[in-house]
Structure formats: C-alpha cells, structure tokens
Amino acid sequence: MQFRSVVSAALLFAFPGFAHAQVQPAPPLTGLYVGAAVGPNWLQNEHLVNSAGVAVNGSIGSGTGMAGIASVGWAFPFGLRLELEGDLRNNPINSAHDLAFPAIAGGRERKYGAMFNALYDISPWLPNPYVAPYVGVGVGYSWAR
C-alpha cells in the first residue's frame, strides 16, 4: 500500500472526528445579559379616520425607515429568561393618497416602545449548535409621534 493512500484513508476517517470535536453546543445562557438589534422598518399605508371615527378613503404612505431594539434581562439556569426591552422605529412620511383636497405629505413618524418579556430557551432539546430557538410572551406599550 502506498504512503499516500494510508495518509488519505487516515484523514478521511479522522476528519469527521475533528469536525465533531470543533462544533460543540454553546453552554446555556445564565445570569445577566444585554441584547441589541438594528434593521429596516417597513410600514403599510396608514388609512385616515375622520373626527366621527369613520374610516375615509385617504391614506398616508411612508418610506423604509430604521428600527432599533435594546434589551436587558436575567437568564435562569433552567431555561427561563425575563427581560425588559425598549424599541425605536423611525419612518419618513412621503406621500398622501385619495384625499379630498390637493396635499403634499412630508415629515417623520417615530414610535417608542417598552416591553416586558418572559422567554424559554428550547435549544437544549435540539441538537443543532448553530441556532438557539426560544418561545415567549410579552406585554408592552408604544407611543407614536
């Protein structure tokens, strides 16, 4: 048998062991943690309501904006996480449709929000080390300006 064949066979059988040794699941998250996210924010056309509370044909259109989220929480060793989350969403207003008068739209719409979330990590039940799924519920409030 040639030396090259022996080395090739050894590498072929050793590679899965090396690959398995390098990909280990992350230890469970415990203690204080901080999170942040940023990305695009899209809004649908916002339909107008008159002073009597009746929807009218008019609507305001907006462009793509920014969304930012920050959170701080505590992770318990058995998978439960409790966190406070704040968010900001900012979109430019750029059009007005189907109004009863000629109009030019402009400005910005900003939304601020705060939430309290309870999350449960289900990643220990899944063998995939590349994702960390969780389920959760939250309650919060948002202000629009």
The one-letter amino acid at 45: N
For every residue of 63-84, DSSP letters joined together read: --EEEEEEEEEEE-TTSEEEEE
**12: pLDDT confidence band, cut at 50, 70 and 90?**
low
**135: pLDDT confidence band, cut at 50, 70 and 90?**
very high
Q: Which two tokens stand for residue 99?
A: 């109004």
Tell me the C-alpha distance between 48 and 96, whole Å.
10
**14: pLDDT confidence band, cut at 50, 70 and 90?**
low
Lowest mean pLDDT among 40-49, 76-85, 90-99, 124-133: 124-133
Which candidate, 118, 126, 105, 113, places its Cα nearest to that of 61? Answer: 105
SS3 at position 124: helix
**How far, CA to CA in Å, does 140 sit from each of 46, 62, 86?**
22, 24, 9
User: What are the helix and strand counts (H, E) for the chain?
Assistant: 1, 7
Q: Which two tokens stand for residue 37?
A: 């996210």
